[in-house]
Amino acid sequence: MNLLNNFKSFEDIKHYFREQVKKLHPDKGGNKEDFLNLLEWYQNYLKNYKTIPKIKVVKNPPLKGNCFFSILDLTVEEVALGGKKKIQIFGEEKVCPKCNGTGKNQNGKIQVCNFCQGKGIIDNLNCPYCKGEGYLYIENCKECKGKGKIKTLKEIVIDIPLGLKNRDILFIPKEAVNTDYDLYLEINILPHPYFILDGTNLIYKCNIPFWEVILKKEISVKTLEGEEYIPSELFTQGTPIVLKERGPFLENNKRGNLIIDFNLYVPKDIPLEAMKLISKAVKIIEKDQRI
């Protein structure tokens, strides 16, 4: 049972196995021999899977050998949460459809074949150089750059290792993704509008209008899990707010912190009417608090 080429990830294989068990189990009306063959196939795969080199971070990519080096863009959320990532790599070569494998631009410039002097025939046989055409294409095909073949793109799914940092080199062995070459991908963490990765922690930078702290019991903040509300009184302490174990997922089932680095926003230009109302409110507060 050689089905590995049909799957993109280990999760796909497990899903396939579970679905086949439902169909082939003798208790469900399936064939016992087919069910036992399925179990044997899956057990052998698991044994082989343990021996496959795993994706890992390395210091430097090799300068030679059967490998491919590229840049892998990841968002802050992808690095912090891990999970699956679809990427495209070069697959098998195929005949260029633009030039039919000739490597020449079929609509480009031509010149008379010097071997047959444009006749297309030599000694009653088709000219071996121009194939009986009497002329030759002289411009390379733009699609394949004159090679006659092009590389197809293949989509694979990889597991994003936890704890990645910018410019880490990710090594993906060919056996792990069923390719003909090893992959080396330099990690590029894309800029985020409000999240910053800082070691094992995640920093959330935000501006909080001062009136929200005064008027609201809870303030909306961004987390990796989405929007959440926390007590507004935490924003009166003047120091960053730390939400423990709400940051990036790390190795060994650990998780960093989410640090809310906030700045109380005060408009530069406050309308006169608003200033009067604020002054009135301050007097009421001073009287109530007996300041």
Residue 201, token pair as written in the block: 């922690």
The residue written with tokens 């009986």 in the block is: 132
33, burial (CB in 10 Å: exposed 0-12, middle 13-18, buried 19+): exposed
Query: Which pLDDT belongs to residue 155?
Result: 87
Instruction: Give CA 81 to chain center in angstroms.
Output: 12
Enumerate residues 6+ apart whose C-beta is below 8 A from 28. Answer: 22
Q: Is the pTM of this model over 0.85?
A: no
Nearest-angstrom CA–CA distance, 244 and 230: 13
User: What are the structural domains of the chain?
Assistant: 4-51 (no CATH), 56-91+153-189 (2.60.260.20), 195-289 (2.60.260.20)
Nearest-angstrom CA–CA distance, 152 and 162: 30
202 contacts 196 by C-beta, under 8 angstroms? yes
The residue written with tokens 């423990």 in the block is: 244
Closest alpha carbon to 84 in 169, 17, 12 = 12
Query: Which pLDDT belongs to residue 1?
Result: 45
Query: Which pLDDT belongs to residue 34?
Result: 85
Nearest-angstrom CA–CA distance, 209 and 212: 6
Nearest-angstrom CA–CA distance, 260 and 235: 10
Phi/psi-derived region of residue 132, left when phi > 0, alpha when psi is between -120 and 50, beta in every other case: left
Nearest-angstrom CA–CA distance, 217 and 205: 20
8 contacts 159 by C-beta, under 8 angstroms? no
Query: Which pLDDT belongs to residue 50?
Result: 57
Closest alpha carbon to 235 in 255, 253, 217 = 217
CB neighbourhood size of 219 (10 A): 21
Query: Which pLDDT belongs to residue 9?
Result: 59
The residue written with tokens 């733009």 in the block is: 142
H or E, element range at 261? strand 258-265
Please report, in tens digits, the pLDDT of each residue of the chain (291 residues total): 445 555 555 667 777 888 888 888 887 788 888 888 888 887 777 766 555 567 888 888 877 788 889 999 999 999 999 988 999 888 888 999 988 888 888 888 989 998 899 898 988 899 988 888 899 888 999 889 889 899 888 888 888 988 899 999 999 988 878 788 889 999 999 999 999 999 999 999 999 999 999 899 999 999 999 999 999 999 988 789 999 999 999 987 789 999 999 999 888 888 888 888 888 887 887 777 776
Nearest-angstrom CA–CA distance, 267 and 212: 13
Quote helix, strand, coil % in the chain, to nearest 5. 25, 35, 40
Dihedrals φ, ψ of 78, to 5°? -65, -40
Closest alpha carbon to 156 in 192, 183, 129 = 183
Instruction: Give CA 49 to chain center in angstroms.
Output: 23
